[in-house]
Amino acid sequence: MPLNIVLVEPEIPQNTGNIVRTCAATGSNLHLVRPLGFSVEDKYLKRSGLDYWNLVNIQYYDSFEQVKEKNKNALFYYATTKANKTHSDVEYDENTFIVFGKETKGLPEELLNANKNHCIRIPMVDIKEARSLNLANSVAIVVYEALRQLKYPNMR
């Protein structure tokens, strides 16, 4: 079973397009939670995802609650700069959903507070000017750590 990437209200089409490409290269599923900050017909979205869109299982939802309801037995991790655990401190399994928030605000505080033990972060230097990494880069970093732990299933 592939990994699952969840983008909650993504805003920048180029980021989502790049994430589509990462999902295609890793066999990961992509779950998009509306509202999206762009049209899926957006030329920038298509250009950054190139011709990978047909290689990815993409599912759309009207709320994050729908994602949770549809995947009740899944393991969820929530990416945030506010977590104590790093992305490499946790154990991933083949039914893992890695949840990322919108580029400008991240995930809602109430969601993070309700799931503190499953929040993860990517280590960064401690300076105010470096608030966070690019969303597409963050997804790639976490996905490849999860796949490394799983011994790169179905990959060459």
Residue 41: CB atoms within 10 A of its CB come to 7
Q: Binding site for S-adenosyl-L-methionine: residue ranges?
A: 101, 122, 132
Could you give phi then psi for residue 134, rounded to 5 degrees?
-60, 140
Q: Which amino acid is at 140?
A: A
Residue 71 CB burial class (10 angstroms; 0-12, 13-18, ≥19): middle
What are the strands, taking DSSP E only, across the chain? 4-8, 29-33, 58-61, 75-79, 85-86, 96-100, 119-121
Binding-site residues sit at: 101, 122, 132
Residues linked to residue 99 through DSSP beta bridges, in sequence order:
6, 78
